[in-house]
Amino acid sequence: MEDINILLASASSHCQQGDFKQGIHLYSQYITQNNQNPAAFYQRGKAYFKIKDYQAAQSDLTKAIKLKADSAELFAERGLIYYMAKQQEKAMADFNTAVEMEPENPFRYASRAFIKDHLNDLAGAKEDYQKALELDPEDAISHNNLGLVLGKMGNHKRAEKHYKDAEKLDPKNFGMSKTEVPKADFTPQPKAEPAPLPDIKPGQLEDKKPSFGSTLKSLLTSADERKEFWQFVKDKVLK
């Protein structure tokens, strides 16, 4: 077991350095010896996603879900891959499943709202952001993004309130600079600059099914980690 765990550590290291093809090769070697670890499929799927092989990424996330069917994180991750592959119905189905599995998790609603916004379902995005804020009133990103949606809907007065709430909660990322002159219909863009989702550390990738859900969940619970997810999605979806 120690030898194949070295494969995981090496695969993760290569991916962190941007050598995704070698990372995929090493993950594949590990999976040949142990095809019951959902984290290995999850990580290899992320590597495929990085090189825009969406079909392979979908396949790996689907295999991970079969092994860990109670993970809302996996459904949300696969939903993003479906979205990038322009399979919108499948994407929304996965985001809906993630919400159904964790109805008290504000991040689930905010994630789905972001996708709805980009599918031009402004009413649906507004409803989801409002639910996210009902569950977590101090989420600056959701305040800001709800403001953007309301601005698109023409409700600039209410949008401005949410921009101010975002600025109050996180002035570093959402405050307007001193030299900027606000306009009546001014609609600021999100200003956070986080990186992609952090990789699971090699030491967390042991073949222990009960720990996998908590490992993934820990990636998406703190405010900083949610900012990282938003920038990851923003960079990939908007470019």
Residue 176: pLDDT band with limits 50, 70, 90? low
Backbone angles phi, psi at 40, to 5 degrees: -65, -45
Between CA 82 and CA 77 the distance in angstroms is 9
Which residue's entry shows tokens 């989420």?
A: 139
Report which residue type is found at 99. V
Quick one: how far is CA 124 from the chain centroid?
Answer: 19
pTM over 0.95: no
Q: Can you tell me the mean pLDDT for 99-125?
A: 95
Confidence of residue 230 (pLDDT cuts 50, 70, 90): low
Q: Is the confidence at residue 108, as pLDDT, over 50?
A: yes
Across the chain, mean pLDDT equals: 80
